Amino acid sequence: DVADIGLIGLAVMGQNLALNMAEKGFRVSVYNRTSSKTQDTLQRYQQEQSHFFGQLEGFYSIESFVRSLKRPRKVVIMVKAGSPVDSTITSLEKYLEPGDLIIDGGNEWYENTQRRSEALASKGILYMGMGVSGGEEGARHGPSLMPGGPLEAWNLMKDILSKIAAQVDDGPCVTYIGPGGSGNYVKMVHNGIEYADMQLIGEVYDILRNLSSNNTDNDKLYEIFERWNRGDLQSFLIEITSHILKVKDKDTLLIDKVLDQSGSKGTGMWTIQEAAKRGIPVSTISAALDARYLSSFKDLRVVLCNRLQGTGHTERNTVVSSYGWNDREFLASELEKALYAAKICCYAQGMALIQKASYDEEWKLDCGEIARIWKGGCIIRAKFLDRIKEAYKRQPNLRSLLEDEHFIADLNKCQLSLRRVVSGASLLGIPVPALASALSYYDSFRQEILSSSQLIQAQRDYFGAHTYKRLDKEGVFHSKWL
């Protein structure tokens, strides 16, 4: 019983996280249901261990794996979310003792974590649900970690997690998120924001691609993303886009040969379901998820592309010249500002959902700290997150990022560009569902009176006697509208 920590599940994430722990000086025991993955992990360990400060040992039975751990035992599970986590817990718990701790690092539905946590608490076993972001690279060299569960469990894990997480200027990308399934919840919303961020970048790329008049323009698109990556949009997703746009396949860009269907694994869908359940508008995240679904209807798109009309050639030239988009420098700067404004709206939606869940579930989450731990390691890491952190520092009870004075100034600077990009793209027939939804989100919050909502409430009262309230006097009213 000498190992500091055990890890079960040696697929992409688990294997890399185990090596990360061994590198940072911990004695790690590993186990996987299929033994070949344990052997693969040990082989990688042999190859990479020369600069490791800790050690890694493989086990082929759960019992010997558990026996190898120091008390209180700490076991990280990195298996597929859902029933594999339940069966792993069942095979583990008979060897554990009160005070031991299990941490599930998968993309788990937060209520599953709460159910497991309650069941294990009755046996004195601590349980955490921890979001891990950053994919394979992050897991190996420093992910963003979002652990939720009992504070006592966090105190046991704090040292290890702080060392294996990504490190940024203001500390490691890990913090105690909060009780219950809050760690999984925050990771879920992180992924929802990631969907929207990717879709927004995809849409501005679509406009640039569409308006590239020749191969030379096209081959140089990466330069625009490289430039953006030195400004306010600096982020991992913009950076990888510039890398993607450099890769050639024979005489064309490889991206032009990629099948135009984007998949999803479920966390985006959960975010939308959760937002709908809690009554929080997340229209940009929703538009991003819909865009992925729509992309899968390839056969229908192939048929309809010749049947549904768009903009003619002459009109197209008129739009391009009237928007000044013949000038690629100007176009790039318009898109940069539009993307920045839309990004603020998209993060405002995600943070609003986290705040609502925190309120409903009494988690007391710290949104500024959450933004901070997303600054490194994870897929949405970006300079921009510092501004979100600062916004919550200025005003911890901010109702919306749109209410922060710095974001108000940014939005006021960029909103016209967003308007021109959305309207120009619409006139050109380029789909921009996420940019358009961000603009509508912005414009809706800008209205003192939402006339559409007045009409909807009147209609509801008309056909269903649902009643309405008035702006000019107190009370509840029902009218004969006919």
* Active-site residue (options: 37, 187, 375, 389): 187
Cβ neighbours of residue 185 under 8 Å, at least 6 residues apart? 110, 148, 274, 354, 357, 363
For the four alpha carbons of 403, 404, 407 and 411, in that order, the dihedral sign comes to positive
64 is a site residue for ligand NBP (CB under 6 A) = no
Tokens coding 338: 């539009």
Return the range that interacts with ligand NBP (CB under 6 A); candidates 10-18, 119-127, 238-246, 418-426: 10-18
140 residue type, one letter: R
- Given the complex with ligand NBP, which of 79 and 373 has the nearer CB atom? 79
Q: Among 194, 203, 274, 336, which one carries the catalytic annotation?
A: 194
Smallest distance from the beta carbon of 311 to ligand NBP, in angstroms? 39
Q: Residues 65-104 vs ligand NBP: string with x where CB under 6 A?
A: -------------xxxx--x--xx----------------
Q: How far apart are CA 482 and CA 462, in angstroms?
A: 8
Please state the closest distance from residue 147 (CB atom) to ligand NBP, in A.
14
Tokens of 455: 């009409």
Instruction: Write the DSSP string, 415-434.
Output: HHHHHHHHHHHHHHT---HH
In the set 18, 30, 31, 37, which binds ligand NBP (CB under 6 A)?
37
Nearer to ligand NBP, 34 or 459 (CB): 34
Site track for ligand NBP across 123-152, x = CB under 6 A: ---------xx-x-----------------
Q: How far apart are CA 180 and CA 29, in angstroms?
A: 27
Residue type, position 357, single letter: A
Question: Which listed residue (13, 208, 253, 418) binds ligand NBP by CB under 6 A?
Answer: 13
- Any contact of residue 10 with ligand NBP (CB under 6 A)? yes
Residue 75: CB minimum distance to ligand NBP, A: 13
Structure tokens at 79: 């298996």
Q: Tell me: does residue 61 bind ligand NBP (CB under 6 A).
A: no
Number of chain residues interacting with ligand NBP (CB under 6 A): 22
Angle at 142 between CA 42 and CA 376, to 5 degrees: 165
C-alpha–C-alpha distance, residues 3 and 128, integer Å? 20
Among 32, 112, 144, 229, indicate the residue that binds ligand NBP (CB under 6 A): 32
Q: Is 292 helix (H, G, I), strand (E, B) or coil?
A: helix
Q: What are phi and psi of 3, to 5 degrees?
A: -75, 145
CB-nearer residue toward ligand NBP: 113 or 284 = 113
Based on the residue annotation, tell me whether 187 is a catalytic residue of this protein: yes
Eight-state DSSP code of residue 73 = P
Does residue 403 carry a catalytic annotation?
Answer: no
Out of 24, 25, 33, 42, name the contact with ligand NBP by CB under 6 A: 33
CB of 195 to ligand NBP, least distance (A): 14
Cβ neighbourhood burial of 312 (10 Å; 0-12, 13-18, 19+): exposed
Calpha distance 152→142 (Å, rounded): 24
Q: Which two tokens stand for residue 181?
A: 């399934």
Cβ-based nearer residue to ligand NBP, 78 or 401: 78
Instruction: Compute and round to an integer the Cα radius of gyration of the chain.
Output: 25
Cβ distance to ligand NBP smaller for residue 39 or 296? 39
What is the distance between the alpha carbons of residues 364 and 397, in angstroms, rounded to a whole number? 11
Pick between residue 12 and residue 409 the one whose CB is nearest to ligand NBP: 12
Residue 263 CB, shortest distance to ligand NBP, in Å, is 13
Give the residue with the Cβ less far from ligand NBP, 134 or 202.
134
Close Cβ partners of 401 (under 8 Å, ≥ 6 residues apart): 344, 347, 348, 351, 388, 391, 407
CB 480, min distance to ligand NBP, A: 56
Task: Report the residue closest to ligand NBP, judged by CB.
Answer: 106
Does 253 bind ligand NBP (CB under 6 A)? Our answer is: no
Task: Give the Cα separation of 344 and 478 in Å (integer).
Answer: 39
Q: Is 2 helix (H, G, I), strand (E, B) or coil?
A: coil
Q: Looking at beta carbons only, is 88 or 358 nearer to ligand NBP?
A: 88
Give the ranges where 305-404 is alpha helix by DSSP (H): 313-322, 328-361, 367-373, 384-394
Q: Interface with ligand NBP by CB under 6 A: which range of 27-35, 52-60, 152-160, 229-237?
A: 27-35
Closest approach of ligand NBP to the CB of residue 66, in Å: 15
For residue 147, the Cα-to-chain-centroid distance in whole angstroms is 16
Instruction: Show the binding pattern over residues 312-351: x = contacts ligand NBP (CB under 6 A), - = does not.
Output: ----------------------------------------
Which residues are annotated as catalytic?
A: 187, 194
* Contacting positions for ligand NBP (CB under 6 A): 9-14, 32-34, 37, 78-81, 84, 87-88, 106-107, 132-133, 135
